[in-house]
Amino acid sequence: MTWLGFMLRNLLRRPGRSLFTLIGVALAVGSFLVLAGLSRGLSTVAGASLDERSAHLVVMQRGLVEFFSSRLPESFEAELRAVPGVARVAPELGAFLPAGEDHHALVGGWRTDSPFWREMPLLRGRLPAPGEGAVVLGESLAEALQADVGSTVKIGFAPLRVVAISGFNSMLNRGMALMMLEDLQALLARPGEVTLFQIRLTRPGDAAQTEAVRKAIAALRPGIAVVTTDEVARENRTLRIVSGVSRAIALIALAIAALSVLNTLAMAVEERVREIGILAALGWTRRQILALILGEGLILAATGGLGGALLGGFGLSALSRVIVPGGLEASTALVLGALGLAVAVAIGAAGAFYPAFRAARLRPAAALRHD
């Protein structure tokens, strides 16, 4: 019999209890991964999608609770263009709208002359014309809506013709619908308004210039936020709240999982006091007894953690399909899996330590009299 065999034998004595503990750990780790992945995903996707359009700075309203509530007049563009160091300015109107029957999509509106249209990778189809009521779908959004060039999709309950499929890489852009700015303004009944301006600098690597431009723009109007693409998410209070709440729930789930491992092992140690006394009487050292109980905890937790990583992976990809079509990138999935396992092992160690310590401290003679 091996160590592992002995530990497994002990865990399998109470198969139901071990299984429930394992499921508890799996659920905790799974929900931790979903929530952590969600808040991480939400904040990185925004930055990544802006980077992909090679924006350096983003101008929007400051102190927003919700990103899409930023309202700036399109006419502000001229003032921004005049700021020294600004190479180009591209306004964008954004909205989160119902798409198809049961999806939501981020919808962006760009002006006809926007450089984004030219730079957009096009898989098939053509660019929309203003006033046409046409839309370009990101690849994963098209997949989710089961639409292609030539189909009609409902965006914000308005039927729009799909004229092209874009081939962006970042998750957010892949799940986005793009329209002519004036069409989206009409759809939203927000004529002359945009959400943000994306700015390209003449010398993007130059920190001094970046700072100078930020200051100059901020001075143009009160209530303006000028942020780098990484900071966009941080500027958004909803995202921050969602992230914070997610993190708190995730930590509670983990703590409960650790307690359930602790409870299971404490019960097992209590039931096995006499057996632990026998082992000690046979010459098992404290360290060996500690290792046995810790090992049992780690087996429970690691198995649960693997289950949790799977659950989390499924959960995240399902969630990202519903909320933002695009799914998980492979690297993220791996990172989350490894993270899930690490978290589970930490849970196992935390939960197992106290019972293991208690077991190792038992006096053999007293333990042998126990029944």
Partner 1 sequence: MAGTAPILALDGVSRSFDDGRIVGVDNVTLDIGRSEVAAVYGPSGSGKSTLLNLMAGLDVPTRGTVAYDGRIVPSAAGWTRLRGERIGIVFQDFNLLPTLTASENIEVAIFGRVSPAAERRRRAAARLAEVGLAHCAARLPRELSGGERRRVGIARALVNDPELLLADEPTANLDSASGAAVANLLLRLPETRRVSLVVVTHDASLLARCARRIRLIDGRVAEDMRTEGAIAA
Is 15 an interacting residue with respect to partner 1 (CB under 8 A)?
no
Long-range CB contacts (within 8 A, 24+) of 108-111 = 108/176, 108/177, 108/178, 108/179, 108/184, 109/178, 109/179, 109/180, 109/181, 109/182, 109/183, 109/184, 109/185, 109/194, 110/178, 110/179, 110/180, 110/181, 111/180, 111/181, 111/182
Contact call for residue 6 and partner 1 (CB under 8 A): yes
Q: Which is nearer to partner 1, 229 or 264 (CB)?
A: 264
The only residue of 153, 181, 280, 333 in contact with partner 1, by rule CB under 8 A = 280
Contacts of 157 by beta carbon, 8 Å cutoff, 6+ apart? 98
Indicate whether 271 belongs to the interface with partner 1 (CB under 8 A): no
Which residue, 367, 354, 206, is CA-closest to 274? 367
368 binds partner 1 (CB under 8 A): yes
Contact 232, 10 (CB under 8 A): no
Among 285, 338, 342, 370, binds partner 1 (CB under 8 A): 285
**Least distance (Å) between residue 299 CB and partner 1:** 16
Does residue 10 interact with partner 1 by CB under 8 A?
A: yes
Q: Which range, of 69-77, 246-254, 275-283, 343-351, touches partner 1 by CB under 8 A?
A: 275-283
CB of 307 to partner 1, least distance (A): 25
Report how many residues bind partner 1 under the rule CB under 8 A: 24
- Please identify, using beta-carbon distances, which residue of 8 and 188 lies nearer to partner 1: 8
CA distance 356 to 323: 44
Nearer to partner 1, 96 or 357 (CB): 357
Of the candidate residues 63, 84, 191, 283, the single one contacting partner 1 (CB under 8 A): 283
Q: Give every CB contact of residue 294 below 8 A, 6+ residues apart in sequence.
A: 348, 349, 352, 353, 356
Choose the binding region for partner 1 from 29-37, 99-107, 334-342, 359-367 (rule: CB under 8 A). Answer: 359-367
- In DSSP terms, which residues pair with 110 in a beta bridge? 180
CB 104 within 8 A of CB 323: yes
Name the nearest CA neighbour of 242 among 323, 174, 167, 303: 323
Binding marks (x or -) toward partner 1, 230..269, rule CB under 8 A?
A: ----------------------------------------
Here's the x/- map for partner 1, 55-94, by CB under 8 A: it reads as ----------------------------------------
Cα separation, 124 vs 130, in Å, equals: 19
Which one of 61-69, 179-187, 255-263, 270-278 is the stretch in contact with partner 1 (CB under 8 A)?
270-278
Cβ neighbours for 38, distance < 8 A, ≥ 6 positions apart: 242, 246, 316, 319
C-alpha–C-alpha distance, residues 213 and 217, integer Å: 6
Among 104, 240, 247, 286, binds partner 1 (CB under 8 A): 286
Decide whether 6 or 20 has the Cβ nearer to partner 1. 6
Contact 162, 152 (CB under 8 A): yes
Interacting residues with partner 1 (CB under 8 A): 1-3, 5-6, 9-10, 13, 274-275, 278-286, 288, 363-365, 368
